[in-house]
Structure 1
Amino acid sequence: MQIEIAQSTPTAASIAMLVERHYNLGKVVESEFLRRSFNQVYRLSFASGQRVVARLCAERPRGGPNVLFEAAALEHLAQHGCPVSRCLSAAGGEVAIHVALPEGHRELMLFEYLDGEFTGDSIDDIGAFARGLAGLHIAGQSYDGPDSTYRLDLDYLLLRPLEGLLRAATMTAELRPHFEVLGRRLHDDILAMGKLSRVLCHGDAHGGNNFIVGTARGKREAVFFDFDESGPGYLAYELAIYPWNLHPRTPEGQLSDKAKGQWRHFISAYREVRPVADVDLVAIARFMAVRQLWLLGEYAGRVPVWGSQAMPTDYLRRQVTMLGNWETLELPL
């Protein structure tokens, strides 16, 4: 009998051996497994003193990793002055190497190691984060490298995740039509807004995928990493991720006065660097719901790895109430 493996977790030492074999970076003297989420992430230190981050990419509900686009987009952004963690090529020039594992081949990518602290609550940190994100969007306008495998449109962000959610083991016949109606109404509401702006999205810019560092001039600057979700898509979705992260994701949750102030400062700092059309501003609140449904679809797709109780039925029931409340959600400006 052959046992099927949903997703294995290689040790940090085994990842170090692979990197020594396939990259011209010398001997690894220290390795550490940092975290397991959608991907598995490791830190490696070399005898030269150089440090890198290794990411073992996982298969997702959308499909495989977007490695060629991600590496090219990072290089483009870096060349245009955006502080990002670039991809490091293997000895043969590949942006990723294939790793044979019990569940099949997965791709391993290496990135520049960054030091710093995540975006804090201070005005300086939030402003640096927002201005940095605006800078990414400006630089991304001239990107002409390999096409992205994925486009962050309503099919990718809403319809396909909703299909996966509706098939989840913990979904019930009672809840399914509620999610279907909420998703269809959200889709139609956004289409009715008319033409919305598109940018090269980071795709997961919630303040925890960048560090805030001090510059030589004493200013605060955002340095971005983890572009696994990047691709061309809606500006309103990209800007919705930060307030989505601030908002309590519970049925009774309300944006606190502190969070309202953080959001106001974020969008004001962004608009100092890059204008945002009124239609895109209005759409941000609806895209917060899109973001939540996208995440629910991602969780549904990870059930073989995380288990069905990562998304229990009572949690889904609360999500129906919350998403219903979010249909009238407005963000202060």
Structure 2
Amino acid sequence: MTTPARSAQIAQTTPTGAAIAEKVAQAYDFGEVRSCELLRRSFNHVYGLQFADGRHAVARLSADRPRGAPNIGYETALLVHLKVRGVPVAGALAARDGAHAVAMDLPEGERPLILFEHLDGDVPGDVLPDVEATGRGLALLHEAAQDYHGPASRYGLELPDLLHASLERLHAAPTMTDALRPEFSAIARALEARIAAMPALTRVHGHGDCHGMNNFVTEGLDGVRVASFFDFDDAGPGWLAYDLCVYLWAMHPRTVDGSLDATSLARWRSYLAGYRSARPLPSADVDAVAAFMAVRQFWLMGEHAGRIAVWGTQSMPTSWLRTQVKMLTAWAELRTPE
């Protein structure tokens, strides 16, 4: 699907549920759309649909990310591969013409709309058997993706996309100051040197955003809890330590002297135990997790910096950037808890 030149006057529009329902009815053979509602407006727009026959689906209206165009070819092919291997994921549903994405014409230009399978289940939260199931499910996902040979990913879970590009966007942000730029650069250089000094680390096709809110857990036939995954928008090839760090990063306090409480430590240990129950986990990869938490924070700042046209400058005020310098400096001393 080719994308025409985008309007310089419109950053990003939010179509109504009715507009999405109309497009789905035109492009897909699922019959009448009974209801369609906006679930979330974040990196993309996500909608929940119910059809007249009772079926449910989730539609994602993708947007250009700060990194560039959506990674649809890789994402949808990886989902097909994982489903064939028996991994429970929300696969992309084919449109009437067989494509996994259809173009929706909007004031800013064409944006791809994808329809995904609906998943049921519980959010893992702090329920330890469900957290363990999440870790085990991620390990099974990594194992099943080892022999993926489909379309290449546009992006990688590697330093060029996660750290270097994020730092460039951060430097260009209107709320950045001349005093803060060299401080962020020094932190990034030290972080890169820390990672370069590590022993060889494991690489995987990673989910990229496994923070505990992009999977559900259900009861398996044998009574064992089973995790199913969705939202592979950030998936890509890269370091296992980065894919693991996202869960710990999501729990860790965003303060200079923050540390995990007992509940969070128990969750992290259950997560690792679940992973190890399904796939070997080298100690070098676990040790590297703490450093990649800082990489993940740079990624988040880069996402904010690259979305100021949509989210506004108040999404990353200068005061927040000063706090990030202090926090990331403290995080240089972090070690992965076990």
TM-score by length of 1: 0.97
The yes-or-no answer on 1:284 pairing with 2:303 is no
Percent of aligned pairs sharing the same letter = 51
Q: Per the alignment, in what secondary structure is the counterpart of residue 213 of structure 2?
A: coil
User: Within 2, Cα distance between the matches of 1:3 and 1:97?
Assistant: 23
Deviation at 1:298, TM superposition (A): 0.4
| Residue in structure 2 matched with residue 190 of structure 1 by the alignment | 195
User: Within 2, Cα distance between the matches of 1:192 and 1:311?
Assistant: 32
Work out which of the residue numbers 149, 162, 180 in structure 2 matches 1:144.
149
Deviation at 1:62, TM superposition (A): 0.8
The yes-or-no answer on 1:26 pairing with 2:31 is yes
The yes-or-no answer on 1:308 pairing with 2:313 is yes
Query: Which residues of 2 match residues 1-333 of structure 1 at below 5 A?
Result: 4-333=9-338
User: Within 2, Cα distance between the matches of 1:310 and 1:251?
Assistant: 20
- Paired residue type of 1:211: F
Q: Per the alignment, in what secondary structure is the counterpart of residue 328 of structure 2?
A: helix
- Paired residue type of 2:327: M
Deviation string, structure 1 residues 234-284 (Cα, Å, up to 9, x no partner): 000001001101101122321112212211221122112111222211111
CA contact (8 A) 2:134 2:227 kept: yes
Deviation at 1:88, TM superposition (A): 0.4
- Paired residue type of 1:17: E
Q: Per the alignment, in what secondary structure is the counterpart of residue 332 of structure 2?
A: helix
RMSD: 1.1
CA contact (8 A) 2:167 2:302 kept: yes
Q: Per the alignment, in what secondary structure is the counterpart of residue 277 of structure 2?
A: helix
CA contact (8 A) 2:27 2:96 kept: yes
User: Within 2, Cα distance between the matches of 1:268 and 1:88?
Assistant: 33
User: Within 1, Cα distance between the matches of 2:124 and 2:300?
Assistant: 21
Q: Which moved more, 1:290-299 or 1:193-202?
A: 193-202
Deviation string, structure 1 residues 132-160 (Cα, Å, up to 9, x no partner): 00000000001111111111111011110
CA contact (8 A) 2:8 2:108 kept: no
- Paired residue type of 1:313: T
- Paired residue type of 2:135: A
- Paired residue type of 2:184: F
User: Within 1, Cα distance between the matches of 2:336 and 2:82?
Assistant: 30
User: Within 1, Cα distance between the matches of 2:56 and 2:203?
Assistant: 35
User: Within 2, Cα distance between the matches of 1:197 and 1:255?
Assistant: 26
CA contact (8 A) 2:288 2:336 kept: no
User: Within 1, Cα distance between the matches of 2:159 and 2:246?
Assistant: 15
Q: Which moved more, 1:203-212 or 1:115-124?
A: 115-124
CA contact (8 A) 2:203 2:240 kept: yes
User: Within 2, Cα distance between the matches of 1:261 and 1:3?
Assistant: 49
User: Within 1, Cα distance between the matches of 2:8 and 2:42?
Assistant: 23
User: Within 1, Cα distance between the matches of 2:309 and 2:303?
Assistant: 12
Deviation at 1:3, TM superposition (A): 7.7
User: Within 2, Cα distance between the matches of 1:215 and 1:270?
Assistant: 17
User: Within 2, Cα distance between the matches of 1:166 and 1:140?
Assistant: 35
User: Within 1, Cα distance between the matches of 2:238 and 2:203?
Assistant: 5
Unaligned runs of 5+ in 2: 1-6
